[in-house]
Amino acid sequence: MAEHNISFSLPELEMGKVDAHFYIYKDKEKLGRITISKGGLDYYARNKKKPIKISWSKFDELLQGYRNE
């Protein structure tokens, strides 16, 4: 089974001013980074410069679809 590790850095300021960054690893290889801000989250896949952006409303809608599974 794959081992997933997540490390993160959280700012000491209110979330609206500084983003939080979460780094995701699978078997010690970086999969990507999630940046969380007041407006939503951005996912940067490994070695990609353009993120997949999702608003908090869209994120909620997406996860509500998993509720019944």
Cβ burial of 45 (10 Å; 0-12, 13-18, 19+) is middle
Please list the rounded mean pLDDT of every run of 10 residues in the chain (69 residues).
Answer: 77 72 89 92 94 94 80
| Number of other residues whose CB lies within 10 A of the CB of residue 68 | 5
What residues does each domain of the chain span?
4-64
* Rounded Cα distance, 32 and 66, in Å: 22
How far CA 27 is from CA of 5, 8, 11, 22, in Å, comes to 8, 17, 27, 16
